[in-house]
Amino acid sequence: MPSEYFNDTERLRLIDSARRLIRLTREVAEPHDLPRVRHIISEGIEANHCQRDRFGINPIIHNLDTALLLCEKISPDRNMVIAILLFILCKNEGIQEKEIVKEWGEDIARLIRGLMKVSTLYAKQAAMESDNFRKLLLTFAEDIRVIIIMIVDRLAMMRAINHHPDEKMVHDVAYESNYLYAPLAHRLGLYSIKSELEDMSLKYTSRQTYTDIAHKLNQTKKSRDAYIAEFIAPIREKLDATPLKYEIKGRTKSIYSIWNKLVKQKTDLDHIYDLFAIRIIIDAEPEKEKSDCWLAYSLITDMYQPNPSRMKDWLSIPKSNGYESLHITVKGPADRWVEVQIRTRRMDLIAEKGLAAHWKYKGIKSEESLDAWMNNVRDILETAETGPMELMKNMRMDFYDKEVFVFTPKGDLFKLPYGATVLDFAFHIHTKLGMSCIGARVNERNQKINYKLRSGDTVEIMTSQQQVPKLDWLAFVVTGKARNRIRQSVHELQNRTSALGKELLERRLKNRKIELVEATLMKLIKKLGYRTVTDFFTAIAGEQIDINDVIEQYVTADRPTEPVADKVSAEEFQLQPQTNINESQTSDILVIGEGIKGVNYRLSKCCNPIYGDDVFGFISSEGVIKIHRCDCPNAANIRSRYPYRLITTRWSGKVGEQFGATLRIIGNDDIGIVTSITSIINKETGTSLRSISIDSNDGIFQGFLGVGVRDTSSLNTLIKKLKTVKGVKDVQRSK
């Protein structure tokens, strides 16, 4: 390789690392592999395709260190080693993918593709404090070996930056290693890598804390291991004297684990009871599991003083996740506390690889499907005698194929269901953004609102103040939030438009001095073929129908007709005991003025007064006295404009025949509800149903009932009874 590319220290490391790598891969590599890789890398260096990164790290030395760690910490694997060494050239376009496939095969090319795909994540500068980033990482990797390479690569990086002058870079790399890579290593059963990453992360992010803990322990790892051996010796002697078949594993907590416990328990080092821990695993028959564990417990507590408050009996009552074990804390030599875990081989298997996978036991969150799959991977890593990586080549990581992960231009990461579109993403960010969305810039290219997003896309929403939600948007959005917001927005827009149409019609009718009667209007709406009142008023506002034609048809519909037996509607009903339906010559039901007799009057249609209402008379230009309720919508206008045409009116003490009244009713459109309503009306003495007009939409009905009643008391009683009908939401007298 070109000597000027390496400094003196790097040159010595290069020679030493190359020799070690050749030795470690001798059994798995082809004879020409490493010489050929060396030649390609030399050409890449000369062509300036292997430049140092912005932190000054030599990529060739770094990749060699990564390949060595893979061989030493996990297992030598030909394809993974070659992919690690050639990745930098492919990333910098020093070698094309087709050349990799031609010379090295599709499997190595696939590994390099995965590494290049994952490397694009770091250009996004996404927040590491997100489970979405971890999921996206797994989605991009596609091959478990890519994740393993990344974990080992991160370990090599952490070892290399111990004394790097860029403190911010060191801090960021350490934080990311602890948050992302250490849990991934833990899931894969790469415990030594996980512990080393955590320890170095603490060292780089809080060096003083790390140093203080190391100093307080006041001993090296070797001396701590020696203490464990001293602690175990008498236990082993006692157990050997019994028929028990067992295995003892000793361990000392890592500095990171100790620090984590200090923070969580808010205590000091002297009160951490399990700085030293051992695990006794007993080979026991199923029926003797508990008795054998308790036998070991009694032997240990005879030798060492136990701490009763620290005993945890998960033999008698296992944890809800299936975890079974007996934990005790005893005072060992030099009065140091040691935790002892006693369990059988079956319990240990469940605790380590089954229901209570170790990362769950320690509180690391993960999905069940991923846990089960990771358990399988860990089994391969731990039990395969040779070449475990060979068994993983066809294992694909497709846990998140039902989700997509996309970035904002600022690097924020969001998770959406598979098939989500630009519009889904806009509503996911904010409702207002969704309602005004007209498209997006996806990876610097303009896309329509129905463009389906893919994992890794960078999306910038484009908006317009003129944009309004449309019902046809429902055809391509997949998220519940987007669908609900679209329906709600369209409904609100229709209501606003409908309100404008209603206001326009009322204003035109008022200008022409035409009274608006809801029952007549409902009759006209049904005649014109509109399903709902909203649709009718929306059509007026949108000028889909001529408002003048509507008014003419309304006037025609409002003209009185000859009464027909049993077909007179409530809105047309007028009390005329002696003459026609509209006028009365004499009556002792109403007292008009000072008892004037023989006066023509008409019960006003705008408020339909009935016996018992507070009323007043209004002398119309036709000379007919119109009787209005005092709370009539038109009362205030009449009193202010024509006070000289008002005449006092009251009901006499005698109740006459039925009066017409209109009720507005709203409820759930259930089977039989109309029958229940009409049945109650028919059962009321002195009350009759004159007309009924009901519309139903989306399971809710609203309508108007024309009824004949004797007085306000009987009307109020009827309203109360109608409100008790199951499904009826509200009943009000219509003015």
Q: What is the mean pLDDT of residues 523-534?
A: 82
pLDDT digits (tens, 9 = 90+) for 243-285: 999 999 876 678 888 888 788 777 776 666 556 678 999 999 9
Give the C-alpha separation, 110 to 108, whole Å: 5
Tell me, what's the pLDDT at 460? 94
Write the CA distances from 164 to 59, 63, 168, 177, integer angstroms: 15, 18, 10, 16
State how beta strands 625-629 and 601-603 pair: parallel
State how beta strands 413-417 and 403-407 pair: antiparallel
Among 72-76, 125-129, 339-343, 563-567, name the one with the lowest average pLDDT.
Answer: 563-567
Q: How many CB atoms lie within 10 A of CB 560?
A: 11
For domain 3-205, is the CATH number 1.10.3210.10?
Answer: yes
Assign 687 a pLDDT band (cuts: 50, 70, 90): confident
Among 102-116, 176-190, 242-256, 589-603, name the one with the lowest average pLDDT.
Answer: 589-603
Query: Is the pLDDT reported for residue 698 higher than 90?
Result: no
Give the C-alpha separation, 318 to 708, whole Å: 74
Do 66 and 74 form a contact (C-beta atoms < 8 A)? no
Give the C-alpha separation, 64 to 13, whole Å: 9
Helix, strand or coil for residue 604?
Answer: coil
Assign 728 a pLDDT band (cuts: 50, 70, 90): confident
Give the C-alpha separation, 246 to 229, whole Å: 16
Tell me, what's the pLDDT at 323? 67
Tell me, what's the pLDDT at 582? 36
Give the C-alpha separation, 581 to 562, whole Å: 9
Q: What is the CATH number of domain 219-352?
A: 3.30.460.10
pLDDT digits (tens, 9 = 90+) for 299-321: 999 999 998 888 899 888 876 54
Tell me, what's the pLDDT at 203? 93
Query: Is the pLDDT reported for residue 212 higher than 90?
Result: no
Give the C-alpha separation, 616 to 645, whole Å: 11
Instruction: Please tell me what DSSP assigns to residue 624.
Output: P
Among 245-254, 516-525, 690-699, 717-726, name the one with the lowest average pLDDT.
Answer: 690-699
Residue 233: which of 153, 329, 325, 333 has the closest Cα? 333
Asked if domains 3-205 and 403-478 share a fold, the reply is no
pLDDT digits (tens, 9 = 90+) for 137-148: 777 777 888 888
Q: How many CB atoms lie within 10 A of CB 12?
A: 11
Q: Where are the domains of the chain?
A: 3-205, 219-352, 403-478, 576-656, 659-733
Do 634 and 515 form a contact (C-beta atoms < 8 A)? yes
Q: Mention every residue, 6+ apart, whose C-beta is less than 8 A from residue 640.
A: none
State how beta strands 601-603 and 459-463 pair: unpaired
Tokens of 631: 């709370």
Phi and psi, residue 247, nearest 5°: -140, 140
For domain 659-733, is the CATH number 3.30.2320.80?
Answer: no
Tell me, what's the pLDDT at 564? 38
Instruction: Specify the DSSP element, H or E, that contains 280.
Output: strand 276-283
Q: What is the mean pLDDT of residues 87-96?
A: 86
Q: Please tell me the number of Cα atoms within 13 Å of 10 on its side-chain side.
A: 18
* DSSP per-residue letters across 431-455: HHHHHTEEEEEETTEEE-TTPBP-T
Q: Quick one: CATH architecture of 403-478? A: Roll (3.10)
Do 206 and 214 form a contact (C-beta atoms < 8 A)? no
Query: Is the pLDDT reported for residue 451 higher than 90?
Result: yes
Name the β-bridge partners of 248. 280
Q: What is the mean pLDDT of residues 64-69?
A: 93
Give the C-alpha separation, 426 to 423, whole Å: 5
Query: Is the pLDDT reported for residue 476 higher than 70?
Result: yes
Q: For the chain, what is the total number of helices (H) and then of strands (E)? A: 27, 20
Do 705 and 663 form a contact (C-beta atoms < 8 A)? yes
Q: Give the position of tokens 């119309």.
A: 620
Tell me, what's the pLDDT at 585? 37
Query: Is the pLDDT reported for residue 677 higher than 70?
Result: yes
pLDDT digits (tens, 9 = 90+) for 329-374: 999 888 888 889 999 988 877 665 433 333 333 333 445 555 555 6
